[in-house]
Structure 1
Amino acid sequence: MSSLTRGGKKSNWSSIEASVLSAFISTHSEPSINLLPDLLRQIPIVLFSGEYDLICNHWATENMLDGMTWNDKTGFNLGNGTVAPINPWIVEGETAGFIRYARNLTYILFHNAGHMVPYNQGRRSRAMLHQFIQLNLTHSNNQTMKNNNARVNPIMHRHFKHFILIVFTVIITVIALIGIIRLFTRQRQQSVIIIPCHSPNLFRLKQQTTMYTALSGGCVVLDGKISA
């Protein structure tokens, strides 16, 4: 968008306008931490930050909220030792950031956004505005929270099933490896049984015997031969 039509006149559009900035500057303005507690007693408020905003970084905003007291409690304390959970904020079926609610105050952290959240995430900013106008974000049992949880729970269940499958596979693999190692070790430890055997003496010489047998007629048998 290169220009805007205003009252029949075209004006160049720019992301930053010095005159607008100067109109909001007040040297005697109260800090928001002093104004928000009284406002939160009367109306719901939504605060949002971009995760890549370095001008008004979200760490400072979150630290301010953690230390601010409103509606008789400090920070996101819900009483009885519990604090408000940080839930994924789902927009159009995708995780758009994180959302947190306590006592009329809703805080949203936008993913993939810098200092100019509506410029970086236009559709998600509009979704936030529509939900807030309809008071869907600031009620403790609002439908937005229910929709977020309804979408997140199946995802968590699917991740848990994958985790169980991985653990089961690792256990089976470890058991199989232990069995193979034990079998290999047992085979190496088996003793070698030597069975003695008597080999025939291949070099045994035949024993030759000489037999002398007296025969009638004066003949002698010598080694099977007849000698006179």
Structure 2
Amino acid sequence: MTGSGNGKTTVLLVDDEELIRAGLRAIIEAEPDLTVVGEAGDGAEVLPLVRKLRPDVVLMDVRMPAVDGIQASRHIVETVDAPPKILVVTTFENDDYVYDALRAGANGFLLKRTRPEDIVRAIRMVVSGESLLFPAAIRALAAMHGGDSGRGLAHAGLTEREAEVLRLMATGMSNVEISAELFVSVQTVKTHVGNVLAKLGARDRTQAVIVAYETGFVTPG
């Protein structure tokens, strides 16, 4: 963990509505392995707080008045060494802002109506980085934005097994599930996933899967 949470996963809350931040704080602080280390009311405040507090996860409202979650996510990814995981928080899952935020470097998203237990689960999932949050919703977003089926990923030089792993990642399978599907060890899957990310220049599974959809390597549905 990067934050100073005494072994806990540390979270920074970013939302222009104080009531939303208070609700999220109450949910997170009720968990023994999670803690909130700071809050911000706009994306403009995020970068200094991330550098100062070094949170493990940022819960980022996607729509804010001055600097939105897309810009703030991009600033974090591009300027912070070992950046935190970013979960954008939105009202509508088919929002173009969500897709733009994912493309900018966010690791996943949450709906504001998400149940408390699923918010906690999402934070833990994004920290582990071993499965994809809401794969069906990402497929739907990818379908809305199209894909170039003629381009593929030939330029990436994926091996046949790495390509197979990427397709299974796109379905939302975790490393454990992929290992069972392919009859290989979890460590072997982790190695393949690492190779896929490196060859695609992707910082995490979400980015790799978006590339796979946008190039037509994987087709939504």
- TM > 0.5 between the two? no
Q: TM-score, normalised by structure 1?
A: 0.28
Structure of greater Rg: 1
The structure with more helix, counted as a fraction of residues: 2
Q: TM-score, normalised by structure 2?
A: 0.29
Higher relative contact order (CA 8 A, sep 6+): 2
